[in-house]
Amino acid sequence: MKKLGIILLLCGLLSVSIFMVKAESYINYQEIIFDNDEAFLLKNYSDDDYSDNYKEIKKKKFMGWRINVVNGNEPVEFVSETKLKIYNNGFSTIKHNINLETKEETSYQISATGGIKLNVKGDVKKFKGAVDADIKASISYSKLTTSKESYEFQIIVDPKTYVKIITRGTGEVNNGVGKYYFFWINTKEGGWETFTVQTEYYEIIKERIR
Protein backbone atom coordinates (compact mmCIF):
# COMPACT_ATOMS: atom_id res chain seq x y z
CA MET A 1 0.00 0.00 0.00
CA LYS A 2 2.87 2.35 0.85
CA LYS A 3 4.44 1.72 -2.56
CA LEU A 4 1.08 2.31 -4.27
CA GLY A 5 0.73 5.64 -2.48
CA ILE A 6 4.20 6.71 -3.62
CA ILE A 7 3.42 5.70 -7.22
CA LEU A 8 0.14 7.66 -7.19
CA LEU A 9 1.94 10.68 -5.78
CA LEU A 10 4.60 10.47 -8.49
CA CYS A 11 1.90 10.21 -11.15
CA GLY A 12 0.32 13.33 -9.75
CA LEU A 13 3.63 15.17 -9.83
CA LEU A 14 4.36 14.05 -13.37
CA SER A 15 1.01 15.45 -14.50
CA VAL A 16 2.01 19.01 -13.67
CA SER A 17 2.76 21.20 -16.66
CA ILE A 18 4.46 24.58 -16.23
CA PHE A 19 4.61 27.20 -18.97
CA MET A 20 6.35 30.58 -19.02
CA VAL A 21 4.94 33.17 -21.42
CA LYS A 22 6.32 36.68 -21.97
CA ALA A 23 5.21 39.65 -24.06
CA GLU A 24 7.76 42.00 -25.64
CA SER A 25 6.14 45.46 -25.48
CA TYR A 26 2.81 47.18 -24.99
CA ILE A 27 2.01 46.54 -28.68
CA ASN A 28 1.87 42.83 -27.79
CA TYR A 29 0.01 43.22 -24.47
CA GLN A 30 -2.73 40.65 -24.08
CA GLU A 31 -5.37 43.27 -23.32
CA ILE A 32 -5.58 47.08 -23.28
CA ILE A 33 -8.87 48.72 -22.29
CA PHE A 34 -9.47 52.48 -22.47
CA ASP A 35 -11.68 54.27 -19.95
CA ASN A 36 -12.90 56.36 -22.87
CA ASP A 37 -14.78 54.17 -25.37
CA GLU A 38 -13.87 56.54 -28.22
CA ALA A 39 -10.10 56.34 -27.65
CA PHE A 40 -7.95 53.78 -29.47
CA LEU A 41 -4.36 52.76 -30.15
CA LEU A 42 -2.25 53.89 -33.08
CA LYS A 43 -2.20 50.35 -34.47
CA ASN A 44 -6.00 50.58 -34.86
CA TYR A 45 -5.95 53.80 -36.92
CA SER A 46 -7.73 53.34 -40.23
CA ASP A 47 -6.81 55.15 -43.46
CA ASP A 48 -9.77 57.45 -42.81
CA ASP A 49 -8.46 58.21 -39.29
CA TYR A 50 -5.11 59.26 -40.73
CA SER A 51 -6.73 61.33 -43.48
CA ASP A 52 -9.17 63.10 -41.14
CA ASN A 53 -6.52 63.93 -38.55
CA TYR A 54 -3.96 65.13 -41.11
CA LYS A 55 -6.59 67.66 -42.16
CA GLU A 56 -6.61 69.05 -38.61
CA ILE A 57 -3.05 70.28 -39.18
CA LYS A 58 -4.02 73.38 -41.14
CA LYS A 59 -1.15 75.74 -40.34
CA LYS A 60 1.91 75.10 -42.50
CA LYS A 61 5.50 75.63 -41.42
CA PHE A 62 8.60 76.89 -43.20
CA MET A 63 10.59 73.87 -41.99
CA GLY A 64 9.87 71.24 -39.35
CA TRP A 65 7.03 69.24 -37.83
CA ARG A 66 3.43 70.10 -36.97
CA ILE A 67 1.79 67.74 -34.48
CA ASN A 68 -1.88 66.90 -33.92
CA VAL A 69 -2.81 65.08 -30.69
CA VAL A 70 -5.75 62.72 -31.31
CA ASN A 71 -5.88 60.91 -27.95
CA GLY A 72 -4.29 62.84 -25.08
CA ASN A 73 -3.48 61.30 -21.67
CA GLU A 74 -6.14 58.62 -22.06
CA PRO A 75 -6.27 56.27 -19.02
CA VAL A 76 -6.03 52.55 -19.74
CA GLU A 77 -6.10 49.24 -17.87
CA PHE A 78 -4.04 46.39 -19.25
CA VAL A 79 -2.95 42.78 -18.94
CA SER A 80 0.62 42.82 -20.15
CA GLU A 81 1.70 39.20 -19.90
CA THR A 82 1.11 35.77 -18.41
CA LYS A 83 4.09 35.15 -16.15
CA LEU A 84 3.35 31.51 -15.37
CA LYS A 85 0.83 28.71 -16.00
CA ILE A 86 0.70 25.53 -13.90
CA TYR A 87 -1.62 22.68 -14.95
CA ASN A 88 -2.34 19.85 -12.49
CA ASN A 89 -3.83 16.92 -14.42
CA GLY A 90 -3.07 14.48 -11.61
CA PHE A 91 -4.95 13.32 -8.53
CA SER A 92 -2.86 14.93 -5.81
CA THR A 93 -2.66 18.50 -4.61
CA ILE A 94 0.54 20.18 -5.71
CA LYS A 95 2.43 22.84 -3.78
CA HIS A 96 4.69 24.93 -5.97
CA ASN A 97 7.18 27.53 -4.76
CA ILE A 98 7.18 30.67 -6.90
CA ASN A 99 9.91 33.28 -7.22
CA LEU A 100 8.99 36.28 -9.37
CA GLU A 101 11.32 39.14 -10.06
CA THR A 102 10.80 42.56 -11.61
CA LYS A 103 13.85 44.11 -13.24
CA GLU A 104 14.72 47.78 -13.43
CA GLU A 105 13.21 49.14 -16.61
CA THR A 106 11.65 52.28 -17.97
CA SER A 107 7.88 52.22 -18.15
CA TYR A 108 7.72 54.70 -21.04
CA GLN A 109 7.26 53.12 -24.46
CA ILE A 110 6.68 54.55 -27.93
CA SER A 111 5.75 53.54 -31.47
CA ALA A 112 5.45 55.30 -34.82
CA THR A 113 4.24 54.84 -38.39
CA GLY A 114 4.89 56.38 -41.80
CA GLY A 115 7.41 59.19 -41.98
CA ILE A 116 7.84 59.37 -38.22
CA LYS A 117 10.71 57.06 -37.29
CA LEU A 118 12.19 55.70 -34.07
CA ASN A 119 15.77 56.06 -32.88
CA VAL A 120 16.78 52.99 -30.86
CA LYS A 121 19.93 52.85 -28.72
CA GLY A 122 19.99 49.78 -26.51
CA ASP A 123 16.81 49.81 -24.43
CA VAL A 124 16.22 53.54 -25.03
CA LYS A 125 13.77 54.57 -27.76
CA LYS A 126 13.15 58.11 -28.99
CA PHE A 127 11.31 59.59 -31.93
CA LYS A 128 13.94 60.31 -34.55
CA GLY A 129 14.94 63.91 -35.10
CA ALA A 130 13.26 67.12 -33.94
CA VAL A 131 9.83 65.46 -33.88
CA ASP A 132 10.78 63.91 -30.51
CA ALA A 133 10.85 67.33 -28.84
CA ASP A 134 7.73 68.47 -30.73
CA ILE A 135 5.71 65.49 -29.53
CA LYS A 136 6.91 65.80 -25.93
CA ALA A 137 6.05 69.51 -25.95
CA SER A 138 2.50 68.68 -27.06
CA ILE A 139 1.63 66.08 -24.40
CA SER A 140 1.92 65.48 -20.69
CA TYR A 141 4.13 62.47 -20.03
CA SER A 142 6.54 61.06 -17.48
CA LYS A 143 9.35 58.53 -17.43
CA LEU A 144 9.14 56.20 -14.47
CA THR A 145 11.70 53.58 -13.47
CA THR A 146 10.82 50.55 -11.39
CA SER A 147 13.50 49.12 -9.11
CA LYS A 148 14.35 45.44 -8.92
CA GLU A 149 12.12 43.49 -6.54
CA SER A 150 11.68 39.80 -5.75
CA TYR A 151 8.56 37.96 -4.60
CA GLU A 152 8.60 34.49 -3.03
CA PHE A 153 5.42 32.58 -2.20
CA GLN A 154 3.81 29.15 -2.46
CA ILE A 155 0.92 28.23 -4.75
CA ILE A 156 -1.39 25.28 -4.04
CA VAL A 157 -2.71 23.69 -7.24
CA ASP A 158 -5.63 21.33 -6.62
CA PRO A 159 -6.21 18.24 -8.81
CA LYS A 160 -7.74 19.00 -12.20
CA THR A 161 -7.13 22.74 -11.91
CA TYR A 162 -4.66 25.19 -13.32
CA VAL A 163 -3.19 28.38 -11.94
CA LYS A 164 -1.92 31.31 -13.95
CA ILE A 165 -0.14 34.46 -12.83
CA ILE A 166 -0.75 37.53 -14.96
CA THR A 167 0.62 41.05 -14.83
CA ARG A 168 -2.06 43.74 -14.66
CA GLY A 169 -1.71 47.50 -14.47
CA THR A 170 -2.86 50.98 -15.36
CA GLY A 171 -1.34 53.58 -17.61
CA GLU A 172 -1.83 56.44 -20.05
CA VAL A 173 -1.77 56.63 -23.82
CA ASN A 174 -1.02 59.62 -26.05
CA ASN A 175 -1.16 59.36 -29.81
CA GLY A 176 -1.72 61.38 -32.93
CA VAL A 177 -0.29 62.34 -36.30
CA GLY A 178 2.34 64.71 -37.63
CA LYS A 179 3.32 66.47 -40.84
CA TYR A 180 6.82 67.59 -41.82
CA TYR A 181 7.23 70.72 -43.91
CA PHE A 182 10.18 71.78 -46.07
CA PHE A 183 9.81 75.31 -47.45
CA TRP A 184 6.08 75.14 -46.55
CA ILE A 185 5.67 71.92 -48.55
CA ASN A 186 4.43 68.79 -46.76
CA THR A 187 7.12 66.17 -47.49
CA LYS A 188 6.54 63.57 -44.74
CA GLU A 189 3.73 62.48 -42.47
CA GLY A 190 3.00 59.69 -40.03
CA GLY A 191 1.56 58.59 -36.69
CA TRP A 192 3.09 58.53 -33.21
CA GLU A 193 2.18 57.08 -29.82
CA THR A 194 3.44 57.01 -26.23
CA PHE A 195 2.45 54.48 -23.58
CA THR A 196 3.29 55.09 -19.91
CA VAL A 197 2.82 52.43 -17.23
CA GLN A 198 1.66 53.99 -13.95
CA THR A 199 0.95 50.94 -11.77
CA GLU A 200 1.71 47.24 -12.22
CA TYR A 201 0.90 44.20 -10.09
CA TYR A 202 0.57 40.41 -10.20
CA GLU A 203 -2.77 38.62 -10.15
CA ILE A 204 -3.18 34.88 -9.41
CA ILE A 205 -6.11 33.11 -11.13
CA LYS A 206 -7.16 29.52 -10.40
CA GLU A 207 -9.59 27.67 -12.71
CA ARG A 208 -10.81 24.14 -13.39
CA ILE A 209 -9.30 22.20 -16.30
CA ARG A 210 -12.06 21.62 -18.84
Cβ–Cβ < 8 Å for 192, 116: yes
Consecutive 10-residue averages of pLDDT for the chain (210 residues) = 36 44 73 96 97 95 96 95 86 84 69 95 86 91 66 85 89 96 96 91 86
Q: Note the pLDDT of residue 154.
A: 85
Q: Note the pLDDT of residue 42.
A: 97
Q: How many H-runs (helices) and E-runs (strands) does the chain carry?
A: 3, 12
Q: Note the pLDDT of residue 83.
A: 81
Tell me the per-residue pLDDT of 150-199, one tens digit each, with 9 for 90 and over: 778 888 889 999 898 888 889 999 999 999 999 999 999 999 999 998 88
Cβ–Cβ < 8 Å for 99, 176: no
Q: Note the pLDDT of residue 73.
A: 94
Cα separation values, 74 from 38, 87, 103, Å:
10, 37, 26
